[in-house]
Amino acid sequence: MKRSNPDCNRGIGLVAYRRDWFSKRRYCSKHCRDAFMVDAPNLLKRFVVSLVAFVGLIVPVTFTTAVLAAPPARQDAPHLPGCDRNLADASVSVAAMQTRIKSLSGVDRSEICTATRLYFLEVVKARAVMALCKSGTERERDLGRFDVDVAHANEAIAARCL
């Protein structure tokens, strides 16, 4: 029968000694049982090596999986055909509406409301064109400017026309 202590030459007889209740290793005598102990520094060394090997395998695999599963980098907005012309038309129409509103200083209140509503519409249209056709930091800056213009026009409509 196989013995747990490799230094022992005796076979296991009628009585086999175990270290505790759940141990499966058998020893030929109490002396053999007590003499054979697991080397603690060796056990710690094996644990550390196993831990480093585990981490060495898991970290690169996890990183690689995360990189492969990540969505592709966001590309700049595609340059749609006619964007240059649409941007130019939008800026011209907004500028024309601004000059029309500035020229209406002593005119009837209903005309000012109509012009302000049309300006609001033109700014919203120009913002939509800008959002589609521009990209990068310039896009964010211009959209912020248009958002402020939309808010001011909306406030002016609420103050004068309601």
Does the pLDDT at position 22 exceed 80? Answer: no
Higher pLDDT, residue 112 or 11:
112
Read off the pLDDT band of 19 (50, 70, 90): low
CA distances from 67 to 60, 76, 156 (A): 10, 21, 50
**Model pLDDT, residue 7:** 60
**Segments making up each domain of the chain, as ranges:** 1-70, 83-161
Q: Which residues have a Cβ under 8 Å from the Cβ of 143 and sit 6 or more positions away?
A: 127, 130, 131
Whether the pTM exceeds 0.75: the reply is: no
